[in-house]
Amino acid sequence: MNEFLFVAVPYVAVAVAVGGGVVRHRRDRFSWSTQSSQFLENRTLFWGSNAWHYGILAILGAHLLAFLFPGEWSSLLGGTTRLYVLEVTGYGLAFLAGFGLVLLVARRLVSRRVLGVTTTADWLLLLVLLFQVATGLWVALGYRFGGAWYPHVAVPWLRSLFTLHPSIDTMAAMPWPVKAHAVGGFALLFLFPYTRLVHVVSYPLGYLRRPYQLVIWSRRTPRLRSGG
């Protein structure tokens, strides 16, 4: 089972994400976006989207830094004070992201107009995201100081996948909430080409070299009556 979860699932998820993403971009390029519903409801979207994005991007940034620079990351957390600061900050960001995600889910349930444009893929993506936030909080609260053990447990496994020599010993020994959170991350990759998640790698770089758009209003003004 561990070989399936930590070897087969990651490789299949990456292959589907890359291959499916390319196919979608070629066949339906205009769907490669967030497909925003801002015009249908804006107030809850503002609070939910900002809380979600600020929280999750900071958390993902910390995961990425620990993956790229595990030695430096471990040295940074060598002091007890810094470790506690990171721990408390991580809790705050996780709750912020969770709060924003709950608002986004509630928005689709409450607003009939937004609910009308919500697809099955949207609901599936939201459920997996909720699962990831819930298991992430479970790991953070139940298995303390993840910032300290993450570089020595998850990073070696992830790096071994990149070198095509998978080593799952460290992950196989972890409790099931940690395993579930890790597999959930690759489940998001699997859903990538079929959901709004594609906007993560969508950057309108072409607009940087396009000329400014000139908008000219054409209004017919009533003619003044003679002598008026």
CATH of the domain at 126: 1.20.950.20
The total number of structural domains in the chain stands at 1
| DSSP-assigned letters across all residues of 73-107 | HHHHT-SHHHHHHHHHHHHHHHHHHHHHHHHHHHH
DSSP 192: G
Q: Is the pTM of this model over 0.85?
A: no
Does residue 133 belong to any structural domain of this protein? Answer: yes
Does residue 218 belong to any structural domain of this protein? Answer: no
Q: Which pLDDT value is given to residue 38?
A: 76
Range of the domain at 197: 2-209
Does residue 222 belong to any structural domain of this protein? Answer: no
Does residue 220 belong to any structural domain of this protein? Answer: no
pLDDT at residue 116 tops 70: yes
Residue 116's CB is within 10 A of a number of other CB atoms, namely 10
Does residue 119 belong to any structural domain of this protein? Answer: yes
Does residue 107 belong to any structural domain of this protein? Answer: yes
* Structural contact between residues 84 and 148, judged by C-beta atoms closer than 8 angstroms: no
Does residue 225 belong to any structural domain of this protein? Answer: no
Does residue 102 belong to any structural domain of this protein? Answer: yes
- Alpha-carbon gap, residue 47 to 1, rounded angstroms: 41
Query: Tens of pLDDT along 120-134?
Result: 999 999 999 999 999
Q: H or E segment at 114?
A: helix 112-116
